[in-house]
Structure 1
Amino acid sequence: MIKSINLSLVYRLLNHGPTVLISSAHNGKQNIMAAAWVTPLDFDPPKVTVVIDKNTYTRELIEASGTFAINVPCVAQIEVVQKVGTNSGRDLHGTDKFAEYGLDTFASTHITAPLLQGCVAWLECKIIPEPHIQNTYDLFVAEVVAAYADERVFSNGKWHFEGYPDLRTIHHVAGGHFFATGESHQAGHEG
């Protein structure tokens, strides 16, 4: 069900602008947070940008480890996205969001951050240090070193959600309100 994605196609996992979950880990601690400002940046090697506020616990772990994972959640995970996006990992006093919310994970292959089960895509990322833009704009640039997708909804380099409404990617609008990715339409075809 989970299939490795050719790195030349990584941009297609994110170019429709889904809300994502950023997971991080360092020195036995881990965290996960929601993020809406994640963008493909380059093709070869594949790069992404992500905005991570300097006050977040996730950022502390990312800066310490130099890595993070992008998890692309789906409609079935809206409640999880809302919970991890509105509560700080710093406030859990000795536990972490994965334990607090009973989130199942699996191991990444090139980094230490865990990957969240139930998502429809995952990207393992290594930070390309750019201290000025990180400190001034909270913007991180990273190289994608591995990527995976649920082949039920992503194969042959394309998303196809037909028949899997709960696996559609989501877009946070505001105040706990989300849109799901809609129908697919092909240019140049009738109907």
Structure 2
Amino acid sequence: MAIQSVPLEKAYRLLNHGPTVLVSAKHQSTENVMAASWACALEFSPAKVTVVLDKMAFTRSLVEQSGWFALQVPVAQQAQMVVDVGSESLKDHPNKLNEFGVRLFYQDGFQTPLVDGCVAWLLCKLIPEPHNQETHDLFIGEVVSAWADDRVFKDGHWQFDNVPIELKTLHYIAGGQFYVIGQGLKVNKGP
């Protein structure tokens, strides 16, 4: 596996299929990761994303304080870890990352932690929108860099038909129930 850079104008493709994401952030020496189901691409250029971060989420405070966050796309082999980090707050469970086997890494030149084992990562600078954040828990980020696992994302497109289930993305429903991305369906372009 190699982590390849994804052009920012194609970064929306990393989220366009609606996966559950992991949100990571760091302020000073405190790192955290949480799960989020409500994340999506917002704009092509400059590339922007949205994510809903509840007021109770400890990660939210790290995003607000640092002005940075990362969205990453986890896969089926990480499903239990996704549930675990999404169910426990760092505020109440200070050793949660170690206990749940979360391995973090950093890309050169950036201070936001990324979660190892995912298949895509979008590093975002927070665009402060106090009304949206307070009223709707909606955070907007400008994507400043994006990467993907070249086993699963090549030439600007996901390759899910050619990978084992362990490398397919997760889609959360409720109550611990996920689905993984299914088979592709290609149709001709319309008129």
- Determine the C-alpha separation between the residues in 1 that align with 2:97 and 2:70: 14
The one-character-per-residue Cα deviations of 1:33-68 (angstroms, maximum 9, x if unpaired) are 000000100011100011001111000100000000
How many angstroms does 1:185 deviate by? 1.4
| Residue 99 (structure 1) aligns with | 98
Which residue of structure 2 aligns with residue 155 of structure 1? 154
Decide whether aligned partners of structure 1 residues 163 and 56 sit closer, same or farther in structure 2, where only a CA change above 3 A counts. closer
Q: Is 2:133 the counterpart of 1:134? A: yes
Amino acid at match of 1:145: V
After TM superposition, the structure 1 = structure 2 runs for residues 1-191 of structure 1, keeping only pairs within 5 Å, are 1-93=2-94, 95=95, 97-109=96-108, 111-161=110-160, 162-188=162-188
Which whole-Å CA distance do the structure 2 matches of 1:150 and 1:163 have between them? 12
User: What count of residue pairs does the alignment treat as equivalent?
Assistant: 187
Matched-pair identity in %: 49
In 2, are the aligned partners of 1:105 and 1:116 still within 8 Å (CA)? yes
Query: Offset at 1:106?
Result: 1.1
- Tell me if the contact between 2:151 and 2:163 (Cα under 8 Å) persists in the aligned partners: no
Kindly provide the amino acid, as one letter, of the partner of residue 49 in structure 2: V
Structure 1: 5+ residue runs without aligned partners?
Answer: none
Counterpart of 2:166, as a letter, is: D
Task: Please list the CA deviations of residues 130-149 of structure 1 after superposition, one character each: whole Å capped at 9, or x if unmatched.
Answer: 11111111101110000000
Are the aligned partners of 2:26 and 2:63 in contact in 1 as well (CA < 8 Å)? yes
Inter-partner Cα distance in structure 2 for 1:106 and 1:27:
16
Q: Indicate conservation of the 8 Å contact 1:110/1:124, yes or no.
A: no
Paired residues of 1:67 and 1:111 also in contact (CA < 8 A): no
3-state SS, counterpart of residue 133 of structure 1: helix
Distance 1:180 1:46 in 2: 26
**Structure 2 spans left out of the alignment, 5+ residues:** none
Q: CA RMSD in A?
A: 1.3
SS in structure 1 of the partner of residue 77 of structure 2: helix
Q: Is the 8 A contact 1:8 1:44 kept in 2?
A: yes
Could you state the TM-score of these two structures normalised by the residue count of structure 1?
Answer: 0.94
Q: What's the TM-score once normalised by structure 2's chain length?
A: 0.94
Aligned to 1:92, the other structure's residue is in SS state: coil
1:49-96 Cα shifts (integer Å, max 9, x gaps): 110011110001000000001010001100110100111111124x3x
Contact 2:63 2:69 (C-alpha < 8 Å) held by counterparts: yes
Instruction: Indicate the larger mover: 111-120 or 68-77.
Output: 111-120
> What secondary structure is seen at the aligned counterpart in 2 of 1:78?
helix
